[in-house]
Amino acid sequence: MNTEKLKQVFADSLSIDPSLIVDDLTFNSIPEWDSIAHMALVTEIDDVFDIMLDTDDVLDMSSFAKAKEILAKYDISFE
């Protein structure tokens, strides 16, 4: 459930089709995921999951897989 929720956040924030969102989707690997879109993505993740990512986590979020790993630290499970 949370994987699909996160995929939708990525799709909405980056304005891409959810089918393009796979674990190895990485920052700057597509034109839509640039530094500005990254901040919009972080904001949307904060809002949707009701958390506040710390600065290190924002900087470390370099892929969809890494986003799931980071969110796990905030007790959000991806099973």
Please give the model's pTM, rounded to 2 decimal places: 0.94
Cα–Cα–Cα angle for 29, 59, 78, rounded to 5 degrees? 75
In the predicted model, what is the mean pLDDT of residues 3-7? Answer: 97
Domain annotation covers residue 14 = yes
- Rg over CA atoms, the chain: 11
Domain annotation covers residue 37 = yes
Domain annotation covers residue 79 = no
Domain annotation covers residue 32 = yes
Q: What is the CATH number of the domain that holds 46?
A: 1.10.1200.10
Domain annotation covers residue 12 = yes
Q: What is the pLDDT of residue 27?
A: 97
pLDDT in tens, 25-41: 999 999 999 999 999 99
Angle between helices 2-14 and 64-72 (to 10 degrees): 130
Number of residues in the chain: 79
pLDDT in tens, 7-16: 999 999 999 9
Q: Are 57 and 66 in contact (CB under 8 A)?
A: no
Question: What is the average pLDDT value for the chain, to the nearest integer?
Answer: 97
Residue 79 has pLDDT above 90, yes or no: no
Domain annotation covers residue 77 = no
Residue 11 domain boundaries: 2-72
Domain annotation covers residue 53 = yes
Q: Count CB-CB contacts under 10 A for residue 74.
A: 14
Q: Are 26 and 62 in contact (CB under 8 A)?
A: yes
In the predicted model, what is the mean pLDDT of residues 54-77? Answer: 97
Structurally, how many domains does the chain consist of? Answer: 1
